[in-house]
Structures are given as structure tokens and as C-alpha cells.
Amino acid sequence: MYAVIMAGGRGTRFWPESRERMPKHLLDIAGERTLIQETVGRIETLVPAENILIVTGLSHAEELIRQLPQIPPANVLIEPVGRNTAPCVGLAALHIKRKHPEEVMAVLPADHVITDAKEFCEVLPIAAEMARQGNYLVTIGIPPTRPEVGYGYIERGALRISVRGRDIYEVASIREKPPLETAEMFLERGGFYWNSGMFVWRVDTVLKAIETFLPDLHVSLIRMEKAIGSDREKEVIDREYTHIQPMSIDYGVMEKAENVLLIRGDFGWSDVGSWDALWEISGRDEDGNVASTCGHFVGVDAKNSLVHSTGKMVALIGVKDLIVVETEDSLLICKRGRSQDVKKVVDILEKKNMKEFL
């Protein structure tokens, strides 16, 4: 089996910790290791390092290679520009195809958190077994715990099979991020799962699906395939990427394909999409505070807050539901529940051309 780790994100939602040169997956916001180190560490128990490919952008490759000394640098594939997940999956599939055209590849986002790595390592091989049989696009669905409007949903169809206690379903429908009422209905009715963005399929199967549903991308992939390994590789990839349309694998392929299977991923998953989400998944003290600071923390009547600092003494008095992030050059203080607006601050900084803070 191969693993393809998608590490293309900018992660502006974790400003001021995340920056243009230091996106979310390269940060240690959720533990001692960075998110990509955690992601690689989890999959390494199932896939040898030489079979782990990482797709990223040029500006992050150096730091990524530094963080992952066990990964051969040749396995770090550079996209000249981000075009969402479909081209990323296609490019990785081309590389694997050269050696093992029928091998299974697991596609994993670099910047998600999984608290139960053991269960993850039980589920993934089952997904791979199904994918190996041939014509299936296997997606991992997360049992929802709240009516989240920030995720896409997958509606399960008929039960296909149960392997070592894990049920595998056909897929009835794939839904884009729903409004709150719909999300509440999904949760109430049951049978809906969060789309985790984790997929398992054979290289030939996914390339065939791209050919069917994204023919333009497939043409570009064929041009790139011919150039890979030659002197013209970079030139051709650069040229093709300039006119490839941005497209997610979810919308471009999964929503249209018939041969999709769903396996439950009940392993404490979060995409940690915001500082709010980080507070949600973090261990809290008796006052509900998360103090992931290298320094000291003193709370006087301070509740349900997240403090993330570089090493200062941080004192909170009489406050609740705050997100406090202090970095070398910036300080963010945000009401909990409002961390989607971190994007607005980044927009303001961009508009003011304050590049040093981006």
C-alpha cells in the first residue's frame, strides 16, 4: 500500500501561528509533534516510509522535509500552484503508477487530528482490502457528534459487508456543507457521516474515475505522465498546472461516481479547522481552560478559554470563552465561537500590505 499525504493548505485560519511560510500542518498546535509529523507517524505503522508520498507547495517543501527526515526527499511532490485536491490526487497517482499501477493508495490530509490512532490503524487496512478488490472508491465517514455546518456529509446506503466488526456501506448520496437545519436533520435521522477527506482506492481505479468525470484534468495528467522522470518534468508540470481548473476530488469525482463505499471512522477525528476546534478537541483543566503555553498560566475567575503562547506568563482575570494566541510578533484575542473571523484579520493585513504579519 501507498499513502499520499496532501499538504497543500495555507491555514490562514490559525493566524497568527500559521503564516504563509508556516501553514497549519507544519505547526505543533495540538501536541508536541506537528500535525504532519502526527499524520506520517500514524500511517508509518502501516506503510513503509518509501511508500509515503507527500504533495505540497514549493514554499513549504524545505520545512516539511526538515520535519520528516524519514521520508525520502524524492517522495515530496511539488505542485507549482494549489489547484485543490483532484489534481493533487492525480499527480500522486501518476508517480505510484510508474512502479505499481494497480497498487492501493490511501489519500490523507496532512493537518487533521485523530485521537484514537489504534482504531485508525484497524480501519485503514479494511478500507484497503475493499479497495484492493478493484473497482471501489472507498471513503472514510466520521460518525457526527454535532450538527456541524462546516463539513460535507455522506449518506450511507445499503450495508455491503462487515469486516472484523466494521460495517461497510454503499453510498446513497454525498452532500455539500449543509445549512444548520439540514445538519440537525442529518444528526437526528442518523445514517449521515462527516466527509473526512480520507480516501482509499487503487491507482488505476482513481485514474479511470478522473478520466470519466474530469476529462480535461486527465488530459493534463497524461501530458505530465510522459514528462515525469525526464528533463522536461518541471517545465511540463508548471505549464499544465497554469491551466488546470481547481477542483476537489469530492465534488469532481466522489459526488458523481457510482462505485463509492463508505467505512465508518470512529477514531476521534477532527479537521481542527479553527482555534475554536482546537479548544473543542483539547484536554481542559477544571475551569475548562486549555493552556498550551510553554510559559506559565495564572487564571483568576477565568473559564473555558484557550491560551496558546510562546513562553510568557499569561494571566487571565474575570474572562471566559476567549482564544488567546501570542506569537513572536503578534497577539490574537478572539471570542470563542468567532474564530472564523481570524480570516477577516488576515484579509485586513493583506489589504494593508502588512506582509510581515502574513
- Helices 35-44 and 117-132: crossing angle in degrees, nearest 10, is 60
Closest CA to 342 of 2, 9, 17, 8: 17
SS3 at position 219:
helix
Q: Tell me the sheet residues that pair with 76.
A: 54
* Cα 308 to chain centroid, rounded: 22
Q: How far is the CB of 289 from its own copies (least distance, A)?
A: 12
Residue 134 grid coordinates: 478493484
Residues contacting 273, CB < 8 A, separation 6+: 13, 150
CB 273 → its own copies: shortest distance, Å? 16
Q: Rg of the chain's alpha carbons, rounded to an integer?
A: 21
Considering the complex, state which of residue 246 and residue 337 has its C-beta at the smaller distance from its own copies.
Answer: 337
CA 294 to chain centre: 26
Q: How far is the CB of 285 from its own copies (least distance, A)?
A: 15
Is 209 strand, coil or helix? Answer: helix
Minimum CB separation from its own copies for residue 335, in Å?
Answer: 4
Shortest reach from residue 334's CB to its own copies, in Å: 4
CB 18 to its own copies: min, Å: 14
| 161 vs 313 by CB, closer to its own copies | 313
Q: Which is nearer to its own copies, 99 or 343 (CB)?
A: 343
Residues that bind its own copies (CB under 8 A): 16, 296, 298, 300-301, 309, 312-319, 322, 324, 326, 329-335, 337-339, 341-342, 344-345, 348-349, 354, 357
Neighbours of 159 (CB within 10 A): 10
C-beta separation of 202 from 131 below 8 A: yes
Q: Residue 62: in which H helix or E strand, if any?
A: helix 58-67
Task: For the CB of residue 292, give the shortest distance to its own copies in the complex, in Å.
Answer: 14
**Residue 105 in grid coordinates:** 493508495
- Shorter beta-carbon distance to its own copies: residue 207 or 342: 342
Please give the Cα distance from 258 to 253 (Å, whole number): 10
CA 342, chain centre distance (Å): 19
Least spacing, CB of residue 346 vs its own copies, in Å = 9
* Closer Cβ to its own copies, 259 or 330, answer by number: 330
Contact 268, 143 (CB under 8 A): no
By beta-carbon proximity to its own copies, the closer residue of 98 and 343 is 343
Nearest residue (CB) to its own copies, 233 versus 301: 301
How many C-beta atoms surround the C-beta of residue 216 within 10 A? 12
> 2 or 275: whose CB is closer to its own copies?
275
- Spatial strand order of the sheet with 322-326 comes to 290-291, 306-308, 322-326
* Closest to its own copies by CB, 159 or 313: 313
The nearest distance, CB 357 to its own copies, in angstroms, is: 5
